[in-house]
């Protein structure tokens, strides 16, 4: 369920599927665990296709984060959708997960982390207000 975009040493870039929910989270988790079972210490996830992210999907992301933290690595998530960034912020996940706006920024931050520079969590995210429905 994860689409591999790039792999470079211990840095893996993958895209999340459109739906990361109760029906798909087990497959997403299995695919991520397969990536993490290798030499992946830095995982960058592209969420640009995500339209549904429910609590089971968030649980999967936190499981990846925990496993990478224990391995001395990091999980970075590119979240171009303002509303999704806002929802992650409401849940407080922007204080735990490394969230960027673009995939290029997430990959660059992952490379800096790998090289020994640890930026603060979500240090460069702009404030996001939800659009009125």
Q: Which residues of 38-57 are buried (b: 16+ CB within 10 A; e: fewer)?
A: eebbbbbbbbeebeebeebb
Q: Residue 130: what pLDDT?
A: 52
Which domains are assigned to the chain?
3-114 (3.30.750.24)
The sign of the dihedral angle between the CA atoms of 39, 15, 99, 116 is positive
Longest dimension (CA), the chain: 43
Q: pLDDT category, 129, cuts 50, 70, 90?
A: low
Instruction: Say if CB 94 and CB 88 are below 8 A apart.
Output: yes
DSSP SS3 for 6: strand
pLDDT tens per residue, range 55-113: 999 999 999 999 999 999 999 999 999 999 999 999 999 999 999 999 999 999 999 99
User: What does the alpha-carbon distance between residue 87 and residue 53 come to, in Å, rounded to a whole number?
Assistant: 10
Task: Name the pLDDT band for 1 (thresholds 50, 70, 90).
Answer: confident
Read off the pTM: 0.86
Query: Does residue 118 have a pLDDT over 60?
Result: no
């Amino acid at each position: 369920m994860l689409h591999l975009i790039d792999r470079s040493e211990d840095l893996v870039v993958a895209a999340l599927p459109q739906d990361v929910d109760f029906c798909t989270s087990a497959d997403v988790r299995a695919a991520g665990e397969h990536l993490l079972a290798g030499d992946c210490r830095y995982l960058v996830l592209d969420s640009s296709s995500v339209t549904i992210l429910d609590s089971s999907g968030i649980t999967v992301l936190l499981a990846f984060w925990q496993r990478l933290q224990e391995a001395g690595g990091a999980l970075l998530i590119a979240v171009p959708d303002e509303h999704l960034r806002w929802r992650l912020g409401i849940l407080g996940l922007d204080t735990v997960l490394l969230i960027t706006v673009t995939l290029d920024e997430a990959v660059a931050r992952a490379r800096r982390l790998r090289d020994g520079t640890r930026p603060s969590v979500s240090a460069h995210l702009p404030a996001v207000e939800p659009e009125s429905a």
